[in-house]
Amino acid sequence: MTDEVAKRIAGIIAEQALVDPDEIKPDTTPDDLGLDSLAIVEVVFGIEEAFDLSVPYNANEPNESDFDIGNFASIVEGVKGLIAQKDAAS
Amino acid sequence: MRRVVVTGLGVVSALGIGRDAHFEGLREGHCGIAPISRIETDRLMIKIAAEAKAFEGSDYFDRGQLSLFDRVTQMALVAADEAMAQSGLADGDRVDEALGLRTATVIATAMGGLHTQDDNYYAVYHEMKNRVHPFIVPRLMANAPVSQVSMKYGFMGPAWSVATACASSNHAIGQAAGLVRTGLCDAAITGGTESVLCFGGIKAWEGLRVMSKDGCRPFSKTRNGMVLGEGCAILVLEERERAMARGASILGEIAGAGMTADASDIVAPDMRGAARAMTQALTEAGMAADEVDYINAHGTATAINDRTEATAIREVLGPAAEDVLVSSTKSMHGHAIGAAGALEAAAVLFALGEQIVPPTVNHEEPDPEIGLDVVPNEAREAPVRAALSNAFAFGGLNAVIAFRRG
């Protein structure tokens, strides 16, 4: 996890979960960190603020969302995809 | 009908944090009104208020809690803590389940999380931000103080928020007492919490042109308008036999409540509606006019309220109005809108407990149109057997609570 995007996301999640960012591994899930649905919404908000993105996450149907919050790696991948889309559009 | 007593009280006001600070301010006739210091006042016409200056949420709550608690919720939780500790209802944080199921939570706030609304409207309209923090709704909703208090202590009975402008707290206290009186509940946590002292909130009040730029002088001939305040008072109400059986100390009795609507004007008060509410409270309490030693007046220091209220007091008490002591403690803690009645209930409990009537401070010159003993400028030792607390709201909604010594 040396890349900048992953580092910033780990920081955002760590702040919500009250853990050290180093404890967050690619296969770490929100459940592992004890993040409830409200905390996940806060993480999504933190990511939107940090990267100036709109994350297509719907708390009603987390599994149906286009944004996969299954584990840390999938979140990073999703954010990178959104950044790429945004760069392509601008 | 069962009798309802107060066994706990917690306060946050411009007079200080905690009921002792509030009581001390009332006793000393301290005026909590001062230049506004918590926000920028450059673009405000009104630059004074009764801010609870000492109250900082970060002194009590962590970052996660603060993201969910508007200032009104913060004050409610702090006041509820103090009230619960005094009542001794809970051993630790939460009441036992049997009591929790029989305990109501009825807390007033006329405007809800106005700071949260103000900050976030600013963010989306002025700063052009396209998103707000996820918890803005649970933070600003008017029932947030009620919900957070019920969650913290495990109160699972009826719970709701009350919004009737300046009468909100008295409506809440009256309804909460009714739940206990009729046997629907054994205890109720009630009162009110309010802070409109944000830029947009003060601007809205400025618009009405009823605010004083230089001070709050209720019943004084020189009065020229109201001064906003903020704060919270929480009362623990309990069925009297239950409270006595467990040896709780009793601060006073909620003997009756009267609630009426003027059904006339959206802002101007109507003497008849006010008088009917006072009469109803006396009737429910079985209280004779000459038993009332003290009236904590609505006393906003607008020309029309104070005149109308004085007339209503005469109408209801008759000859006893010549002897009753009447004071407006808004002269000290400001007009806390939805929390006003609760801060004033605290003043009445002070009067009943200490046998000292809090004064109407900033009183400069008697007004012949008032002509009542308004306890000018200095608290007075006097026997206080029973008291009324008046609240007459915009929209013509009136609520009066009758108290007796416990």
Tens-digit pLDDT profile for residues B304-317: 999 999 999 999 99
Interhelix angle B271-285/B303-317, nearest 10 degrees: 40
Predicted local distance difference test score (pLDDT) of residue B401: 98
Question: How far apart are the CA of A64 and the nearest CA of chain B, in angstroms?
Answer: 20
User: B147 in contact with A at a CB cutoff of 8 Å?
Assistant: no
8 Å CB contact of B67 and A48: no
User: Which of A39-48, B51-60, B238-247, B380-389 bottoms out in mean pLDDT, i.e. has the lowest?
Assistant: A39-48
- Which residues of B are less than 8 Å from A54 in CB distance? 130-131
What ipTM score was computed for the predicted complex, to two decimals?
A: 0.77
Predicted local distance difference test score (pLDDT) of residue A2: 54
User: A44 in contact with B at a CB cutoff of 8 Å?
Assistant: yes
User: B62 in contact with A at a CB cutoff of 8 Å?
Assistant: no
Q: What is the DSSP letter of B273?
A: H
User: A50 in contact with B at a CB cutoff of 8 Å?
Assistant: no
Q: How far is CA B272 from CA A40, B264, B291, in A?
A: 55, 10, 22
Strands of B199-329, DSSP E: 230-239, 252-261, 292-296, 325-327
Confidence of residue A60 (pLDDT cuts 50, 70, 90): confident
Integer-rounded Cα radius of gyration of chain B = 20
How many helices (H) does chain A have, and how many strands (E)?
A: 3, 0
Q: How many alpha carbons fall within 13 Å on the CB side of residue B297?
A: 34
Active site residue B31: no
Taking residue B60's Cβ as centre, other Cβ atoms within 10 Å add up to 16
Considering only alpha carbons, which residue of chain B is nearest residue A18?
A: B64
Q: Which of B166, B185, B198, B216 is catalytic?
A: B166
> What integer best gives the mean pLDDT of chain B?
97
Considering only alpha carbons, which residue of chain A is nearest residue B130?
A: A54
8 Å CB contact of B135 and A44: no
User: B135 in contact with A at a CB cutoff of 8 Å?
Assistant: yes
8 Å CB contact of B131 and A44: no
Considering only alpha carbons, which residue of chain A is nearest residue B68?
A: A38
- B249 in helix, strand or coil? coil
The alpha carbon torsion through B195, B198, B200, B206 (nearest 10 deg) reads: 80
For residue A83, the Cα-to-chain-centroid distance in whole angstroms is 13
Structure tokens at B262: 């003027």
Nearest to A42 among B130, B131, B134 (CB): B134
Are B77 and B131 in contact, with CB atoms under 8 Å apart?
no
Indicate if the pLDDT at residue B214 is higher than 50: yes
- Which residues of A are less than 8 Å from B124 in CB distance? none
Q: Which of B115, B298, B333, B363 is catalytic?
A: B298
CA separation for the pair A77, B316 (Å, rounded): 74
Each residue's pLDDT tens digit, B373-406: 999 999 999 999 999 999 999 999 999 999 999 8
Q: What is the pTM of this model?
A: 0.94
With b for 16 or more beta-carbon neighbours within 10 A and e for fewer, the B162-195 pattern comes to: bbbbbbbbbbbbbbbbbbbbeeebbbbbbbbbbb
Active site residue B126: no
Confidence of residue A1 (pLDDT cuts 50, 70, 90): very low
Active site residue B298: yes
CA separation for the pair B326, B363 (Å, rounded): 13
